[in-house]
Structure 1
Amino acid sequence: MKTDNESHLRMTQRRREGHEKKQAAATTEKGLLIVHTGNGKGKSTAAFGMAVRMLGHDQRIGVVQFIKGALHTSERDFLGSHPQCDFITMGDGYTWNTQNRDADIATARKGWQAAVDMIGSGDYRMVILDELNTVLKYEYLPLDEVLGVLTARGEMQHVVVTGRHAPDELIEAADLVTEMRLVKHPYREQGVKAQQGVEF
């Protein structure tokens, strides 16, 4: 459908006016509880994009990476080398690698304690809890305890939680929830192995 210049101008003016009204009405400033979930790629990637933005504003961030501790990731190398980022990795790989529930619970508990310390310190503008949803799905940590800490965070502190299968209670408590939906993936459809810089 073609749009002439005059109708295009009217359309963009209406959009701008609507956007300006929303901006004028949005006067609240607060820390957000953010959840990235779903079966599609990009949950952690989006969180680390936020981390880069925060560092660009010279704000301190903390990252606790659950599950992926045994994996070498470029985000850990890059962000962990930044003076304004404290990056902690926990775990010995995915659950199908460890096959030891007691060990996984103990490791999750250590990671959670690091997260609690970061959130409670008040030193971090943003805390990213990568793959915490996976930990909650397998019931390695009590959901009520986790929600209690996340909802009691500092007034201006952002917390980002990633991973598939976010529990309904966490979604309800969150301010911003994004569900990544898998449409196509080269590993599944083409047998293409994980690509450097794309997957890790």
Structure 2
Amino acid sequence: MPNPMTTVGKIHVFHGDGRGKTSAAMGEVLRAKALGQRVGVVFFMKGKRKGAEYRSLENLGVEYAVFGRSGFLSGADAETQDKVLARQALEYSGAILKSGRFDLVILDEIINAQYYGLILADDIVKLMVSKPNGMSMILTGKTADKRILERADQVCVFHKIKHPYDKGIFARKGIDF
């Protein structure tokens, strides 16, 4: 009989003002794929670009969907289109959770979509509740709502001490994207 602790999927939240939340989630993707697991990734608030994570996912045969405009989006930049894209990402996320096709689902930047008012914390909690028992889920973003943190099984906080951006050094290919 299998160990029940290995067959019950958990909900993980990677949040905070530090860099590396998406990178950590992609590390979990790599580990899951190496173990033969089925992985799906939904990118909230990120447009399709030539970033290494997209190429890596393609090379690994990971199914992913991108819902966002090109470039970096902050709350001040948000437009009606961003709210529409975030809702589409939310609906897509609900559909892939319901499908049961995956062992691990990453909802990248979903917490930022809520923080910037594109979706509601209640929407995220509903997704968390709807997660099939055997599936693991990782949510990423900067500032997580208390209800999301309470529902999660694991919460990791990424805190910035210092960053090259503070000295005017922008994102570096192969490191930051």
Normalised TM-score (structure 1): 0.80
Which of 20, 31, 50 is 1:42 aligned to?
20
**Match for residue 56 of structure 2?**
78
Equivalenced residue count is 173
Letter in 2 for 1:136: Q
Distance 1:96 1:33, change over 3 A: closer
- CA spacing shift, 1:187–1:95, aligned 2, 3 Å: closer
Aligned to 2:176: 199
| 1:26-175 to 2 correspondences below 5 Å | 28-29=5-6, 30-83=8-61, 85-92=62-69, 93-96=71-74, 99-175=77-153
Once the two structures are TM-superposed, the CA of residue 113 in structure 1 deviates from its matched residue by 1.5
Structure 1 vs Structure 2 CA RMSD: 1.9
Cα 1:96/1:139, change in 2 over 3 Å = closer
Q: Secondary structure at the match of 2:156?
A: strand
More helix by share: 1
User: CA separation in 1, counterparts of 2:75 and 2:119?
Assistant: 19
**TM-score using structure 2 length:** 0.90
CA deviations over 1:171-200 (Å, ceiling 9, x no partner): 000000000010111111x32221111100
Give the drift of 1:99.
3.5
The structure 1 segments of at least 4 consecutive aligned residues displaced by more than 4 Å after TM superposition are none
Q: Which has the higher contact order (CA 8 A, sep 6+)?
A: 2
Kindly report which structure 2 residues correspond to 1:171-186, keeping only aligned pairs within 5 A, or say none: 171-186=149-164
CA distance in 2 between counterparts of 1:167 and 1:67 reads 18
Question: What is the distance in 1 between the residues matched to 2:102 and 2:124?
Answer: 18
Among the aligned pairs, what percent are the same residue? 28
> 1:7 corresponds to which residue?
none
